[in-house]
């Protein structure tokens, strides 16, 4: 079940790498949007009853037999349509124009000349101006379908932007959704507001109210159980559900002893003290550390933690008499069914840990109130619900916790060393005002010892690696560049204050080829 939105835009996905960004830009313009793969676009269209359609890019070519098409219903609906890149090509092809295989293509930065006005350019681009855009295409439109005119041109694309004002169809060869098209967000906002005539009133307050009504309708008088991980997503989901159904919700926090310094206390005091939400706090440190003893292989550690987490959670759920629903903080990027043109399952790099499998085993239905939101929208909803900023703005933290930041065997002693060093590192990052500029920062305790000299004595102790990355979604990342004296200061503090560490290094690897976590 999903919330009914008064104003919405359907994005038909043809498999572009950047389709999610179109949804982001439309939501930034204040209109709710959803992505549907072209294969299920017809159903999504009937369910959503949108006021406008956007067609995404694609790695495919319209000239290839069997390549994706826009469902005819969408053209028959009379609604405004915006085609982007492949979207422009398939629109042109399906409406009777001509697309040819480009002999060279245009990739990267390009400039378009505005030759005529149109609703997309309102208040933004004037005739005679030149504007920077980001192109990525091989094929191109060579003859327009009836009723279209070219309103912007580029050296590689004579039909860089085209318009059919009567039908309210617009299309562009470049990608307005990426930041390398500086006016792209405003072009998309013009489509949503000026062409589709939407008011753009989608706010988090509206979302919160609608979601609460939806949760009440879904759950009725049933009981809901929610696993808290200590992270933002499950906390926001729990607070929202509690606002909807109060005491029908019980939260279970399985404390595996692999949390950062003070983190478990923070979760418990926030839920019990601040929100007065029923919370079962299971201290399972001994169980987890006992089972991790002797395990050194990263996947073996991950699998043990995942399995044990589910067992403990299940036991606790039974103790409180079971539940009809399991609440999870699943986000939109996890539910988008992206279209694959290469086929075949992708390689498992790391088995991510979650509570998968539980709902069937315990005969529970899922409540996933965040499944339409992106990470930063979840943070905004958290603030809207009154969660403290320090909690909402937290860096992501992996389910298996510190265990995957201690390559080799995990022991209580090594967890304690890492916790102390990590706390110093994060404190310095906060003091320097850098916390929010970083996607994730943490320390890794290496299974390596090095020789040092402290006072007049020799030391032979642990080596620590510091990691900090910037990223937008965790899929790719680059190492954060700290100002000159920052890292030496942190290294000195850690070696002086944390017994057991005598050397500190910094990890400059980006993802790919590295990953963010070390295991």
Q: Does 471 show up as a binding residue in the annotation? A: no
* Least distance (Å) between residue 519 CB and ligand XMP: 8
Q: Is residue 401 near ligand XMP by the rule CB under 6 A?
A: no
**Segment contacting ligand XMP (CB under 6 A): 147-155, 270-278, 349-357, 359-367?**
349-357
| Residue 400 in the binding site for ligand XMP (CB under 6 A) | yes
Between residues 196 and 445, which has the closer beta carbon with respect to ligand XMP? 445
Give the residue among 174, 86, 188, 185 at the shortest CA–CA distance from 134: 174
Secondary structure string (H, E, C) spanning 218-259: HHCCCCEEEEECCCHHHHHHHHHHHHHHHHHEEEEEEECCCC
CB 181 to ligand XMP: min, Å = 27
Q: At its nearest, how many Å lie between ligand XMP and the CB of residue 294?
A: 21
Single out the residue of 220, 322, 357, 396 in contact with ligand XMP (rule: CB under 6 A). Answer: 396
Phi, psi of 511, rounded to the nearest 5 degrees: -120, 125
319 binds ligand XMP (CB under 6 A): no
Closest CA to 82 of 9, 153, 1, 28: 9
From 172-180, 311-319, 396-404, 410-418, give the range in contact with ligand XMP by CB under 6 A: 396-404
Residue whose pair of structure tokens reads 């999610």 in the numeric block: 20
CA-to-CA distance for 251 and 234, rounded, in angstroms?
10
Q: Does 232 carry a binding-site annotation?
A: yes
Q: Which two tokens stand for residue 259?
A: 């949390």
In whole angstroms, how far apart are CA 512 and each of 164, 389, 476?
42, 31, 6
Residue closer to ligand XMP by CB (options 137, 353) is: 353
- Tell me whether residue 83 or residue 231 sits nearer to ligand XMP (CB atom): 231
Residue 399 is a binding residue for ligand XMP (CB under 6 A): yes
57 in a known ligand binding site: no
- Range list of β-strands (E), 287-402: 325-327, 365-367
Binding flag, residue 393, ligand XMP (CB under 6 A): no
Strand 478-479 to 106-114 pairing: unpaired
Of the pair 59, 333, the CB lying nearest ligand XMP is at 333
Question: Considering the rule CB under 6 A, would residue 398 count as an interface residue with ligand XMP?
Answer: yes
Tokens (6 digits) for 342: 């290469």
Point out the residues that are catalytic: 85, 175, 177
234 in a labelled binding site: yes
CB 53 within 8 A of CB 9: yes
Burial degree of 139 (CB within 10 A; 0-12, 13-18, 19+): buried
| 13 labeled binding residue | no
Q: Which stretch binds ligand XMP (CB under 6 A): 57-65, 127-135, 397-405, 414-422?
A: 397-405
By C-beta, is 57 or 400 nearer to ligand XMP? 400
User: Phi-psi bin for 326: left (phi > 0), alpha (psi -120 to 50), beta?
Assistant: beta
Q: How far apart are the first and last CA of the chain?
A: 37
286 binds ligand XMP (CB under 6 A): no
> Given the rule CB under 6 A, which of 67-75, 347-355, 372-380, 443-451 is the region that contacts ligand XMP?
347-355
Does 512 contact ligand XMP by CB under 6 A? no
**507-to-156, 260, 276, 497 alpha-carbon distances in Å:** 42, 20, 41, 21
Among 440, 444, 446, 503, contact with ligand XMP (rule: CB under 6 A)? 440
517 touches ligand XMP (CB under 6 A): yes
Query: Annotation-wise, does 235 bind a ligand?
Result: yes
Binding residue for ligand XMP, selected from 180, 350, 383, 489, defined by CB under 6 A: 350
| CA gap 34, 24 in Å, rounded | 10
Q: Is 511 in the site for ligand XMP (CB under 6 A)?
A: yes
Query: Within 13 Å of residue 496, how many CA atoms lie on the same side as its CB?
Result: 8
Q: Which is nearer to ligand XMP, 50 or 400 (CB)?
A: 400
**What gap in Å lies between CA 304 and CA 190, rounded to an integer?**
51
Is residue 248 close enough to count as binding ligand XMP by CB under 6 A?
Answer: no
**Using rule CB under 6 A, residue 515 touches ligand XMP:** yes
- 303 binding ligand XMP? (CB under 6 A): no
**Residue 230 annotated as lining a ligand binding site:** yes
Q: Determine the Cα–Cα distance for residues 314 and 125; give it in Å rounded to an integer.
A: 59
Binding site for ligand XMP (CB under 6 A): 350, 352-353, 396, 398-400, 440, 474, 511, 515-517
Report the binding-site residues.
Answer: 229-235
Report the binding-site residues for ATP.
Answer: 229-235
């Amino acid at each position: 079940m999903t919330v009914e939105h008064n104003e919405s835009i359907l994005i038909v996905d043809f498999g572009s790498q950047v389709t999610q960004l179109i949804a982001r830009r439309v939501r930034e313009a204040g209109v709710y949007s959803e992505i549907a793969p072209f294969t299920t676009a017809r159903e999504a269209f009937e369910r959503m009853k949108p006021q406008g359609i956007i067609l995404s890019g694609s790695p495919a070519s319209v000239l290839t037999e069997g390549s994706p098409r826009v469902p005819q219903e969408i053209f028959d609906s009379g609604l405004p349509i915006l085609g982007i890149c492949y979207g422009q090509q398939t629109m042109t092809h399906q409406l009777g124009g001509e697309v040819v295989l480009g002999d060279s293509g245009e990739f990267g930065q390009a400039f378009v000349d505005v030759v005529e006005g149109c609703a997309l350019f309102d208040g933004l681009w004037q005739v005679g101006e030149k504007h920077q855009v980001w192109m990525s295409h091989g094929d191109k439109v060579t003859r327009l379908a009836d009723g279209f005119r070219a309103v912007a041109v580029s050296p590689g694309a004579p039909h860089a932007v085209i318009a059919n004002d009567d039908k309210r169809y617009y299309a562009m060869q470049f990608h307005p959704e990426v930041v390398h098209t500086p006016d792209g967000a405003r072009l998309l906002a013009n489509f949503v507001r000026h062409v589709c005539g939407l008011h753009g009133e989608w706010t988090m307050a509206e979302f919160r109210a609608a979601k609460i009504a939806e949760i009440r309708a879904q759950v009725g008088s049933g009981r809901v159980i929610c696993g808290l991980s200590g992270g933002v997503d499950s906390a926001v989901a729990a607070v929202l559900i509690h606002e909807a159904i109060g005491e029908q919700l019980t939260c279970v926090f399985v404390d595996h002893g692999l949390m950062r310094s003070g983190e478990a206390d923070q979760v418990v005091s926030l839920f019990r003290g601040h929100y007065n939400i029923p919370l079962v706090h299971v201290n399972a440190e001994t169980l987890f550390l006992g089972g991790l003893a002797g395990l050194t292989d990263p996947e073996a550690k991950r699998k043990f933690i995942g399995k044990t987490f589910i067992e403990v959670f299940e036991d606790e759920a039974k103790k409180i008499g079971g539940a009809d629903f399991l609440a999870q903080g699943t986000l939109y990027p996890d539910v988008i069914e992206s279209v694959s043109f290469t086929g075949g399952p992708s390689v498992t790099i790391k088995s991510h840990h979650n509570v998968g499998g539980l709902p069937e085993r315990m005969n529970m239905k899922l409540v996933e109130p965040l499944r339409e939101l992106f990470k930063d929208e979840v943070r905004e909803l958290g603030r809207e619900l009154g969660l403290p900023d320090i909690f909402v703005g937290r860096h992501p933290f992996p389910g298996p916790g510190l265990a995957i930041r201690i390559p080799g065997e995990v022991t209580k002693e090594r967890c304690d060393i890492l916790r102390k060093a990590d706390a110093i590192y994060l404190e310095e990052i906060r003091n320097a005002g850098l916390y929010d500029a970083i996607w994730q920062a943490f320390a890794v305790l290496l299974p390596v010892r090095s020789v040092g000299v402290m006072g007049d004595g020799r030391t032979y102790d642990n080596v620590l690696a510091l990691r900090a990355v910037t990223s937008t979604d965790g899929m790719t990342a680059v190492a954060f560049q700290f100002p000159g004296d920052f890292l030496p200061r942190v290294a000195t503090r850690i070696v002086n204050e944390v017994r057991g560490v005598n050397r500190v290094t910094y990890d400059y690897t980006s993802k790919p080829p590295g990953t963010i976590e070390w295991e």
